[in-house]
Structure 1
Amino acid sequence: MTKKKIWIIDDDSIYQIIVTKIIQKTDLFSSISSFYDGKDGLEALISVIENKEALPDIILLDINMPVMDGWEFMEELVKLKFLINKQIDVYISSSSIAIEDKNNSKTYPAILGYLSKPITNNDIELIASND
């Protein structure tokens, strides 16, 4: 299996550290990048596209964040689809138990799953093997 690039977009810096360690422990990814909110993640994505760098394969996306939340990020990602030459698999990673959030996640084809925090080694292995 080819190692993939994964991005974490989440405003909780402690959670970013924990999930990064879990991801590193699996040794399934070639690189891990973290962003504080949807706006930071979106700006990084635009920069990667403009510089013709390697896009992420997977994004772990929190819903509730300042500046730009996960849903706003997804709206912008849809608008950029014509510039993206590969599929980016998005997994919502949230502590929200609201049924509206789970239902809303099903309206975006790029969102492949909804993971409840805390994410486990099993979750990471499952998303890494999803081809």
Structure 2
Amino acid sequence: MLEQILCVDDDPITLMLSKKVISKSEFSKEIITAQNGEEALHYFNTLKYNKNKTNKPELIFLDLNMPVMGGWEFLDYFVSADYSEFNTANVIVLSSTIDPDDLAKAKKYPIIIDFLSKPITQTMLDYLKKKICPDA
């Protein structure tokens, strides 16, 4: 079981359903949500300047198409030196459409370990558990 994950998606229903499936499957102890990349970066900035370091997300479920700041823009910031203490987290891109151009672009980010279709399901989480924690 992971300590903390971050779900970044602009659809509140998707976030609610994701939290339910993740909680029910005991995939993570804590689920943090953000409605766009900017909110997610704000969360990491809060952690960065918090003297009492709390858990940091081990896994990020990331939507690509969001208002304010989309997934690609978030990734460009997140892989920079400014966030180096956090970018050990793995990223799973979740998208409602799997565009071949997006799949190709995802390969340019070593932090992205998979590109999956929405919604998060129990089967998907079982697959990710084996991929992320093969000894569990």
Amino acid at match of 2:29: S
Residues 77-103 of structure 1 deviation map (CA, whole Å, 9 limit, x = unaligned): 011466416620000011122111111
What corresponds to 2:69 in structure 1? 68
Asked whether 1:97 is paired with 2:98, we answer yes
Distance 1:24 1:4 in 2: 12
Distance 1:34 1:85 in 2: 16
4+ residue runs of structure 1 moved beyond 6 angstroms? none
Q: Give me the TM-score of the superposition, normalised by structure 1.
A: 0.91
* Residue pair 1:49, 1:83 contacting (<8 A) in 2 also: no
The number of equivalent residue pairs is 130
Residues 60-84 of structure 1 deviation map (CA, whole Å, 9 limit, x = unaligned): 0000000000000000001146641
Distance 2:10 2:90 in 1: 20
Distance 1:60 1:27 in 2: 16
Q: 1:100 to 1:85 in 2, by over 3 A?
A: closer
Asked whether 1:117 is paired with 2:114, we answer no
Q: Compute the displacement of 1:105 (Å).
A: 0.8
Q: Compute the displacement of 1:118 (Å).
A: 1.7
Distance 1:99 1:83 in 2: 28
Q: 1:66 to 1:18 in 2, by over 3 A?
A: same
* Residue pair 1:49, 1:55 contacting (<8 A) in 2 also: no
Amino acid at match of 1:47: T
* Residue pair 2:61, 2:91 contacting (<8 A) in 1 also: yes
Distance 1:70 1:82 in 2: 15
Identity %: 32
Residues 9-44 of structure 1 deviation map (CA, whole Å, 9 limit, x = unaligned): 000000111111100110121100110000000110
Amino acid at match of 1:24: S
